[in-house]
Amino acid sequence: MDAAAVRDALGLDGTFADWLDGLDTGAPDPPRAPLPDAATAARLLERVAVPAEDIPIVLAARPSTDAEQWIVDREHHLLVTTLGETGYLWWPPLHDAPARSTQLMHVWAFLAALPGVREWHAARGIPDGVSWATLADLGQNLYENQLINHDTGLDVPWWMTLHFRGGIYQLGRLQFERRTSRGDSALGVHIPETGPMTPDACDASIAWAHEFFPAHFPEETPVLATCASWLLDPQLADYLPTDSNIVRFQQRFTLRPDKTVADNSSICRFVFHDPDPDLDALPQDTTLQRAIVSHIKAGGTWQMGNGWFEW
């Protein structure tokens, strides 16, 4: 099969052409992805924190056609042959695919790659707890997809390719992404949606990262930590107390106004789990919730902020 035949067989439209063409390298077919059996898959899904209600849905959606296997084989091959490389692979969300098994192909590719990335972590001396905590972001993303789309799937499957290639690590409250593609290396700071980001918790994560990366990636010498997030919108400081977790997090960074992008959808997505909500229907229980709504209603636009601090 080739990319065009796979697209037709799965009922995918032309928006998926670039992704499928990227998988169709013209090289000999890669080895068949080693999909775990049902019992092993269930155990692994539980181990990476996939919500209990999603597990039977994923298991029932095991790739079942030649076209689906074509994709999973190639995605698995990409993950395991580029372990250690930085940056993500562009894998699109598949919510609109006609078949449930097609919608969940990425999850099965990650399951097939899981033993390989675990072995790579071990070879780097990465502690078992860090390895599993990092890979458990797969379950967190399935959980967040339920909140946003009310369905089982991955809203941002490309994001998980960082985890399954050894490019990002969960160290306490924060995640740190290796970035080596632009000359001097840097660390990207990410804030998963897992609870309050207190200053003490962030301090502990940063201190851990200062020990972790020299120990496990001594060939990389980050000079900066960078972050792009709605949390770095300086307008938030106009609404929130100076001692709030968000404002204190912002104060760690030198903000870059030249990298700021207008973006109401991100702040609404992460706070209300709806990128395009009915403002009048949103909860107004917290200072942050009230600030988001009142700012937009007043004609304001929230920003995707960008900042850095010296590592």
Q: Examine the domain organization and report whether 218 and 260 are in the same domain.
A: yes
Determine the Cα–Cα distance for residues 264 and 252; give it in Å rounded to an integer. 23
Choose one of 145, 166, 187: the last residue of a domain. 166
pLDDT tens string 127-181:
999 999 999 999 999 999 999 999 999 999 999 999 999 999 999 999 999 998 7
Per-residue pLDDT of the chain (311 residues; tens, 9 = 90+): 999 999 999 999 999 999 999 999 877 899 999 999 999 999 999 999 999 999 999 999 999 999 999 999 999 999 999 999 999 999 999 999 999 999 999 999 999 999 999 999 999 999 999 999 999 999 999 999 999 999 999 999 999 999 999 999 999 999 999 998 766 789 999 999 998 999 999 999 999 999 999 999 999 999 999 999 999 999 999 999 999 999 999 999 999 988 889 999 999 999 999 999 999 999 999 999 999 999 999 999 999 999 999 99
Q: Examine the domain organization and report whether 8 and 114 are in the same domain.
A: yes
Q: Examine the domain organization and report whether 282 and 146 are in the same domain.
A: no
Q: Examine the domain organization and report whether 7 and 40 are in the same domain.
A: yes
Q: Examine the domain organization and report whether 122 and 177 are in the same domain.
A: no
Range of the domain at 25: 1-166
- Closest CA relative to residue 160, chosen from 205, 127, 201, 114: 114
Single pTM value for the model: 0.95
- Closest CA relative to residue 174, chosen from 148, 195, 152: 195
**CA–CA distances in Å: residue 260 to residues 179, 192, 235, 256, 257:** 20, 21, 11, 7, 5
**β-strand partners of 255:** 307
Domain count, the chain: 2
Q: Examine the domain organization and report whether 58 and 77 are in the same domain.
A: yes
Q: Examine the domain organization and report whether 149 and 33 are in the same domain.
A: yes
Determine the Cα–Cα distance for residues 257 and 261; give it in Å rounded to an integer. 9
